[in-house]
């Protein structure tokens, strides 16, 4: 039973356009959400996070939106660059056990 | 430049052999996580520790896997005996009580 879902295994976007990666969760005890980026043969690296008390957090080209009522979050990358091509993992932390649960990932390809 | 260090980076072994993976968390971090990356499940939690105490190892096959933190600078994940289905990339991550996790570069295990 996946608590964090990323229903799109892959996404292709043209360079300069917006990339939107989606994530859904089922556990209402999650209070902190993160996005990680992973290149081949490397470990995941932290990208951006959002607390459950906010609905938006922005850092340069990256913005994360949280819709608690829908248990949905999304990562927007504007403008997309070829170097953004990677696997993106959505993660959530529960406020009880402090465990981090990851989604299965979405592979983003930004085409030049 | 603080980082999580994992050894070995690559390990090829035969079925039935013992495998030990090691992780040095970032100094000052008090939580350590072990994840396994598979194609279907993404990042699957195996075990995690807080202040060296195991908090959750429910994701780990107990009959063959074991995880320990002999001291604050070393976490180990042992598989005995190893099986071909254990072939995967194993990641260690560390963090503080709040904030994001920092991942190592992973240990790629191949069991023949």
Residue pLDDT, tens place only, A53-110: 999 999 999 999 999 999 999 999 999 999 999 999 999 998 776 789 999 999 999 9
Q: Which one of B45, B100, B104 has the shortest CB-CB distance to A101? A: B45
**pLDDT value of residue A97:** 63
Tokens of B80: 């005995």
Within 13 Å and on the Cβ side, how many CA atoms surround B94? Answer: 23
H helix or E strand, kind and range, residue A52: none
Q: Is A40 on the interface with B (CB under 8 A)?
A: no
Structural element, H or E, at residue B23: strand B19-24
Looking at the predicted structure, is the pLDDT value of residue A5 above 70? yes
pLDDT category at A10 given cuts 50, 70, 90 is: very high
Report yes or no: B77 and B34 within 8 Å, Cβ to Cβ.
Answer: yes
- Give the pairing of strands A106-111 and A56-59: unpaired
Closest CB from A89, A97, A98 relative to B43 = A89
Strands (DSSP E) contained in A6-105 are 10-14, 19-25, 30-38, 45-51, 56-59, 62-67, 72-77, 86-94, 100-102
List of chain B residues whose C-beta atoms are within 8 Å of the C-beta of residue A42: 105-106
Give the integer Cα–Cα distance in Å for B84 and A21: 33
Report whether pLDDT(A47) > 80: yes
Mean pLDDT for the stretch of residues B16-27: 97
Tens-digit pLDDT profile for residues B47-105: 999 999 988 888 888 899 999 999 999 999 999 999 999 999 999 999 997 889 999 99
pLDDT at position A99 is 84
């Amino acid at each position: 039973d996946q608590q964090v879902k990323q229903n799109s295994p892959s996404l292709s976007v043209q360079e300069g356009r917006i990339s939107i990666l989606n994530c859904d969760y089922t556990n209402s005890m999650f209070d902190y959400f993160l996005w990680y980026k992973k290149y081949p043969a490397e470990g995941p690296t932290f990208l951006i996070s959002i607390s459950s008390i906010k609905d938006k957090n922005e850092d340069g080209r990256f913005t994360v939106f949280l819709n608690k009522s829908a248990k949905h979050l999304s990562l927007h990358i504007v403008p997309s660059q070829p170097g953004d091509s990677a696997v993106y993992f959505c993660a959530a932390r529960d406020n009880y056990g402090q465990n981090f649960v990851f989604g299965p990932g979405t592979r983003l390809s930004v085409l030049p | 430049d603080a980082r999580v260090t994992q050894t070995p980076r690559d390990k090829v072994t035969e079925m039935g052999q013992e495998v030990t993976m090691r992780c040095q968390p970032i100094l000052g971090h008090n939580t350590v996580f072990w994840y396994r990356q598979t194609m279907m499940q993404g990042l699957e939690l195996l075990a995690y520790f807080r202040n060296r105490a195991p908090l959750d190892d429910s994701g780990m096959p107990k009959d063959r896997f074991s995880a320990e933190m002999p001291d604050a600078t070393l976490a180990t994940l042992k598989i005995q005996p190893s099986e071909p289905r254990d072939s995967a990339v194993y990641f260690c991550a560390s963090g503080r009580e709040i904030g994001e996790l920092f991942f190592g570069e992973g240990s790629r295990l191949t069991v023949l």
